Chains A and B, each alone.
Chain A
Amino acid sequence: MKLAYWMYAGPAHIGTLRVASSFKNVHAIMHAPLGDDYFNVMRSMLSREKNFTPVTTSVVDRNVLARGSQEKVVDNIIRKDAEEHPDLIVLTPTCTSSILQEDLHNFVERAQLEAKGDVMLADVNHYRFNELQAADRTLDQIVQYYIKKACKRDELPQGKTAKPSVNIIGNSTLGFHNNHDCTELKRLMADLGIEVNTIIPEGASVHDLKKLPQAWFNLVPYRELGLATANYLSEQFGTPYVDITPMGVVETARCIRKIQEVINAQGAEVNYEDFINEQTLYVSQAAWFSRSIDCQNLTGKKAVVFGDNTHAAGITKILSREMGIHVVWAGTYCKYDADWFREQVGEYCDEVLITDDHAEIGDAIARVEPSAIFGTQMERHVGKRLDIPCGVIASPIHVQNFPIGYKPFLGYEGTNQITDLIYNSFTLGMEDHLLEIFGGHDTKEVITKGISAESDLNWTKDGQAELNKIPGFVRGKVKRNTEKFARERGLKEINAEVLYAAKEAVGA
C-alpha cells in the first residue's frame, strides 16, 4: 500500500480509452463498477466535446460478483453494435476486472459471432501499466489487428506512395495541446513537400490503418504514445521512423534533417537546409528572441522543469540551450522510461529527478527556490503557494490547458508559443530591475508559507521594515536566507543589521 492523493499518470484503462475514443466510430466498453466511467466527464469537460464520448460500461455489481458477468458483457457488446454500428468495439478491462479474472477473451469471441463490427479485448493489466503505457500498447494492438486482418484478406495495398509520405503517430484525445500540434505538423509536412498518409489515432478510421505501410516513414512526435506502433511497422514493413520531437528551434531542425536523411535514403533527393534556415531566421521568432535584450536578462536565472518525458525533455533543452537559463533540476514522472530521460537532459541540467511523488517535487522546488517553474498543474499550485510563477508544459492539466486559440508546442509556430510562455513566466526583466533599485512598491505583509519555511524567529520592527523594502518576488527567499543565517548563529532576533549581515554572507 502506498499513501497518495495525487498521481501524474492515470490508471491503465484511461490510456486505452484515450486511444479508442480518438478513432472515429470506435466504441469502448468498460468492464467496471458504477462510477468508473469518469473518463466521459473528463473528455466532455476538458476538451469540450460536442459529441457523446463513445464509452459505455458493462456494470460490475453485486450480481456479477456472485455469479460472474455471464451474458452481460456479451449482451452489452451486441447491443452497442446494433445501436451505434461501430467499426470496432474495444472491451476495456479495469482494476476491478483485473482481479475478477473473468475470461474476457471468451466474451469477446462470443460477441464477435453476432456483432457486425469487430470486437477486441484491450491487452492491458491495471497493475502493470499506467495510462501512458496502456495507450501505447492499445494503439499498437489496434494497428496490428487491422494490418493482420488486411493481410489475411489480401487487402493490404502494395508498395509506397509515389511521393514521399508520412504517417503521424501519437495524437490523441486529452493529450496536451495535441490538436494544435497536429495542425502544425501537417503544415510542416506540407512545407516540406511530404504527403500526410494517415494520422493516428485522433480522427482516424480503422479502415485507414491498412494504408499505414504505404508511407515512406513514420513520425512519432511524442515519446509516450506511438513508439510501439512505429516499431511494429518498422519490423513488419521496414518503414523507418523519426522519433525526434520537433520542439524548440534546435530539435525541430534536427527532426527535419532526420526526415531528410530518411527519405533521401529512399531516393527522394531533397535538401531542407534552406528551409530550416529561412524558418529559423524569419518565421520562428525564437532564434531572434535568444539574441534580444529581453532574453539576456534571463541569463543564469534558475528554473526547474517537471512533466512527462516528451515535454520535460523538450523544455529543458530549450531553456538551457536556446535561452541560457540555468535549469537546476529537470524531472519526469515516466519512471518506466527514466533512462531515456536521463540521456536526453543529462547535459542540460544540474540534476535529474525521477519520481511520481508530488510531495518530493514540492520539496525540491521549495529547496531550490527557482525564479520560474515549468511543470504540470500540480507544480503550478506549488508555485502559487511559494509565490513562484509557473508555466504549464505537461499533463495532468485542467480545462484552461485546452485553449481554443491556436497554441501548438511543436514545429516553428510552437517555438513562438513556447517563447511567450517562458518569457511571460519569468518576472519581466526591467520591472524586476526597477523594483530592486527603488525598493519595491508593494507593502504586502510577509506571511510564512508552508512547505519548508517555519519561523521560530522574531523579526524586529526595523528588520521587518527593511525586509518589506525588498521586492515581493525575492522577499521570501531573502527572508528564508536571513532566518537560516540567524539560526546558524543562534540569533533569536532579526533586525536590519542581521538582515544585511546575512545578505553579505551569501554574497547577494
Chain B
Amino acid sequence: MTIAQQPEALNFECETGNYHTFCPISCVAWLYQKIEDSFFLVIGTKTCGYFLQNAMGVMIFAEPRYAMAELEEGDISAQLNDYEELKRLCLQIKRDRNPSVIVWIGTCTTEIIKTDLEGLAPKLEAEIGIPIVVARANGLDYAFTQGEDTVLAAMANRCPSKAPKALTETDKSDERNPIQKLLNFGKKKEEVIQEESEYVDHPPLILFGSLPDPVVTQLTLELKKQGIKVSGWLPAKRFTELPIIEEGYYVAGVNPFLSRTATTLMRRRKCKLIGAPFPIGPDGTRAWVEKICSVFGITPQGLDEREAQIWASLEDYVKLIRGKSVFFMGDNLLEISQARFLVRCGMMVHEVGIPYMDKRYQAAELALLEKTCQEMGVPLPKIVEKPDNYNQVQRIYELKPDLVITGMAHANPLEARGINTKWSVEFTFAQIHGFTNARDLLELVTRPLRRNNNLKDLGWDKLVKEEAKI
C-alpha cells in the first residue's frame, strides 16, 4: 500500500445509478416492530409484495402488522374508486388489528398513476377515526434506508406541538390515548422530581432515527452522563407517545440517511439541527456526544477514558483488520460513517459507494472522515454517488481489496472469485450505535476474515473457472 500523494479534499464522483439496493418500502420491516401500535399498508403491486415477502424472510410468518394493498388492473385504469377501495381495506385493518396509526406507503405505481394519497388520507382519517400518515417511499426517488426517512419526515408533522398543560385532568378532546398519557405523565413527574438535579439546564433536545430500544436506552444514558436530558425520540415506541416538538427545540440525528426528517424538523417545526457525526463506532459516538455538549455549552466529562477503554476492548478485532483494505459498493447510506470508523481501526478505504450524498446533513461526518484519514495517514477515499455496480466490480478485480461490503446479489459471486465480502444489509439490522455496540460492528466486519483464517490452508479460494475473455 503506497501512501504517496494525498488528495487535498474528498473526491466526489457520480456514476450511472445502476446499482443494487433494497426498495425503500423495506423500512416497514423494522418500523412496524419499532412503533408497536402502528400498521403499515403498502399500496403497490405484486412486485412490491414479492420483494417484502422475500426480503423479510421469517418475519412474514409472525403475523406482521403490515400488509399490501395490492393494486389490480381496475385500480390502475381507475375503474375502481381509490377512496372507496382504501376505505374498505382500512376498515378491515381497524376491525382486525385496531392500530393507533395506519401508515400508507406510497410506491412507484401510486406515483405514476398519481394517486393523491396525501389528499385522501385526511378525509379518510376523519371518517374512520384513525390517524393516517402518508410516506412516499418509492424506488423512483429513494434507496433502502431512505424509506425510514420519508416515514419519519411524515411523522415529524404529527408530533404534538404544545406541552400538555395540567393534563392530569383528562382532556377529552385530545385524540391521543388519555389513560396512557395519564399514566406516563404520572411517571414522568416522579422522575423529574428525582432526577432534575442530575441534568444541566439546557433547551429541550429531541433525537430522531429509529433504533432498537436497548440502543435508545444506551444512547440516552450516554448523554445523561454529560447532564443532557433527551426530551423525546422520533419515533417513540408507540405512535401515541410521539414527542412534543416546539419551536426552538434542538434536534440531532442518529443515522446518516435522515436528511428529509432533518429538513422537516428545521423548516416545518422550526427546530435547530445539531450537525454532528453519527454515533457509529467509539470515535463517532464520542464526536456526537461532544458536538451536542458544545452546542449546550457543556464541557464533556470522561469521554477520553471512555473511548480509550472501548478501543482497548476492541483490540483483538482491530488487530485482524489493521492495514487491510475495504471497498464499499454502497446501498444503505451508512457507508460514510462506517468508512470513517474503519479508517480509525487502521483500514484503508478504496472507495465509498453511496446511493445518495447529502453533503449538508452529513457535513460533520464528512469532515471527521477527512480528519481521520489524515491522522491515520491513509489516502482519502473516493466517494461515488449513485454507483454503477458493473464498473465497481471491474474496479474490485483491479484493486483486489481485502474486504468488499456489498449487497447479497454480488456477495456469493465475489466470494466464488476469492474476494471476501460482508453483506451490507446486516449493518442496518444489527445494533451498531454507541460505545457499547462498537464490538458488534466489528464482529460483522471481521467475520469473513475470521472465517478465512479457519479455511486458509485448504487451497480452494477460487471456485469458478477462469472466465474466457472474448
- A residues with CB within 8 A of B: 1-7, 10-11, 13-14, 32-38, 40-42, 44-45, 48-53, 56-57, 59-62, 65, 76, 83, 85, 94-96, 99-100, 126-128, 130, 378, 381, 384, 396, 398, 450
Tell which of B54, B141, B390, B416 touches A56, judged by Cβ atoms closer than 8 Å: B390
30 sampled A-B residue pairs with Cβ under 8 A: A1-B80, A1-B89, A3-B70, A4-B49, A4-B70, A7-B46, A7-B50, A11-B50, A13-B47, A33-B23, A33-B108, A35-B22, A35-B25, A35-B51, A37-B20, A44-B409, A48-B412, A49-B413, A50-B416, A51-B413, A52-B413, A60-B108, A61-B17, A62-B141, A83-B390, A95-B46, A96-B109, A99-B109, A398-B57, A450-B63
Kindly list 7 other residue pairs between chains A and B, CB separation below 8 angstroms, not including A2-B69, A41-B20, A95-B109. Answer: A2-B72, A34-B17, A52-B409, A61-B141, A65-B112, A95-B47, A127-B72
**Complex Cα spacing A40 to B409, Å:** 5
Quick check: is B192 within 8 A (CB to CB) of the other chain? no
Contact: A96 with B108, CB < 8 Å? yes
Chain A residues within an 8 Å CB radius of B19: 34
Closest to A79 in B: B390
Interface centre among B23, B60, B410, B412, by most chain A C-beta atoms within 10 angstroms, is: B412
Smallest Cβ distance from A40 to chain B, in angstroms? 4
Closest to B391 in A: A83
Interface centre among B43, B60, B108, B416, by most chain A C-beta atoms within 10 angstroms, is: B108
Contacts A5-B68, A7-B49 given; indicate if A37 touches B85 (C-beta within 8 A).
Answer: no
8 Å CB interface, B50-108 against A: 50-55, 57, 60-61, 63-64, 66-73, 75-76, 80, 85-86, 88-89, 92-93, 108
Contact: A56 with B47, CB < 8 Å? no
Contact: B144 with A1, CB < 8 Å? no
Contact: B138 with A40, CB < 8 Å? no
Contacts A1-B89, A11-B50, A127-B72 given; indicate if A35 touches B21 (C-beta within 8 A).
Answer: yes
Contact: B66 with A126, CB < 8 Å? no
Chain A residues within an 8 Å CB radius of B108: 33, 60, 95-96
Contact: B46 with A50, CB < 8 Å? no
Smallest Cβ distance from B153 to chain A, in angstroms? 18
Contact: A36 with B23, CB < 8 Å? yes
Contact: A11 with B89, CB < 8 Å? no
**Complex Cα spacing A4 to B93, Å:** 11
Chain B residues within an 8 Å CB radius of A4: 49, 67-68, 70
Contact: A2 with B412, CB < 8 Å? no
* 3 cross-chain pairs, A with B, having the tightest CB-CB distances, nearest first: A35-B23, A33-B139, A40-B409
Band of interface residues on B:
35 or more
**Complex Cα spacing A302 to B416, Å:** 46
Closest to B69 in A: A1
Contact: A3 with B69, CB < 8 Å? yes
Contact: A381 with B61, CB < 8 Å? yes
Smallest Cβ distance from A339 to chain B, in angstroms? 23
Chain B residues within an 8 Å CB radius of A398: 57
What 0/1 pattern do residues 138 to 149 of B give for CB contact below 8 A with A?
A: 111111100000
Chain A residues within an 8 Å CB radius of B43: 1
What 0/1 pattern do residues 27 to 61 of B give for CB contact below 8 A with A?
A: 00000000000000001011101111111010011
Quick check: is B312 within 8 A (CB to CB) of the other chain? no
**Complex Cα spacing A33 to B137, Å:** 12
Contact: A127 with B76, CB < 8 Å? yes
Quick check: is B463 within 8 A (CB to CB) of the other chain? yes
**Complex Cα spacing A12 to B95, Å:** 33
Chain B residues within an 8 Å CB radius of A37: 20, 409
**Complex Cα spacing A128 to B390, Å:** 33
Chain B residues within an 8 Å CB radius of A99: 76, 109, 112-113
Quick check: is B408 within 8 A (CB to CB) of the other chain? yes
Quick check: is B111 within 8 A (CB to CB) of the other chain? yes
Contact: A34 with B45, CB < 8 Å? no
Interface centre among B18, B144, B410, by most chain A C-beta atoms within 10 angstroms, is: B18
Quick check: is B407 within 8 A (CB to CB) of the other chain? yes
Contact: A62 with B70, CB < 8 Å? no
**Complex Cα spacing A505 to B187, Å:** 55
Contact: A53 with B143, CB < 8 Å? no
Contact: B53 with A6, CB < 8 Å? yes
Quick check: is B470 within 8 A (CB to CB) of the other chain? yes
**Complex Cα spacing A133 to B407, Å:** 30
Contact: A41 with B408, CB < 8 Å? yes
Contact: A38 with B109, CB < 8 Å? no
- B residues with CB within 8 A of A: 17-25, 43, 45-47, 49-55, 57, 60-61, 63-64, 66-73, 75-76, 80, 85-86, 88-89, 92-93, 108-109, 111-113, 138-144, 390, 393, 407-413, 416, 463-464, 470
Contact: A50 with B413, CB < 8 Å? yes
Closest to B80 in A: A1
Contact: B49 with A5, CB < 8 Å? yes
**Complex Cα spacing A329 to B376, Å:** 68
Closest to A57 in B: B18
Closest to B112 in A: A99
Closest to B67 in A: A5
Contact: A1 with B407, CB < 8 Å? no
**Complex Cα spacing A52 to B467, Å:** 12
Contact: A1 with B86, CB < 8 Å? yes
Chain A residues within an 8 Å CB radius of B21: 34-35
Tell which of A42, A127, A130 touches B73, judged by Cβ atoms closer than 8 Å: A127
**Complex Cα spacing A53 to B71, Å:** 29
Contact: A33 with B140, CB < 8 Å? yes
Smallest Cβ distance from B322 to chain A, in angstroms? 30
**Complex Cα spacing A167 to B34, Å:** 53
Contact: A34 with B67, CB < 8 Å? no
Closest to A96 in B: B108
**Complex Cα spacing A4 to B43, Å:** 10
**Complex Cα spacing A50 to B414, Å:** 8
Interface centre among A34, A36, A42, A126, by most chain B C-beta atoms within 10 angstroms, is: A34
Tell which of B53, B66, B85, B464 touches A51, judged by Cβ atoms closer than 8 Å: B464
Closest to B20 in A: A37
Tell which of A45, A59, A76 touches B412, judged by Cβ atoms closer than 8 Å: A45
**Complex Cα spacing A42 to B57, Å:** 11
**Complex Cα spacing A299 to B57, Å:** 36
Contact: B53 with A44, CB < 8 Å? no
Contacts A3-B92, A127-B76 given; indicate if A50 touches B463 (C-beta within 8 A).
Answer: yes
**Complex Cα spacing A51 to B409, Å:** 10
Closest to B390 in A: A83
Contact: A34 with B143, CB < 8 Å? yes
Interface centre among B22, B43, B50, B52, by most chain A C-beta atoms within 10 angstroms, is: B50
Smallest Cβ distance from B61 to chain A, in angstroms? 4
Tell which of A3, A49, A50 touches B68, judged by Cβ atoms closer than 8 Å: A3
Closest to A125 in B: B73
Contacts A35-B143, A36-B139 given; indicate if A3 touches B89 (C-beta within 8 A).
Answer: yes
**Complex Cα spacing A405 to B470, Å:** 35
Tell which of B47, B89, B412 touches A44, judged by Cβ atoms closer than 8 Å: B412
Smallest Cβ distance from A489 to chain B, in angstroms? 31
Contacts A4-B68, A51-B464, A83-B390 given; indicate if A65 touches B111 (C-beta within 8 A).
Answer: yes
Smallest Cβ distance from B346 to chain A, in angstroms? 31
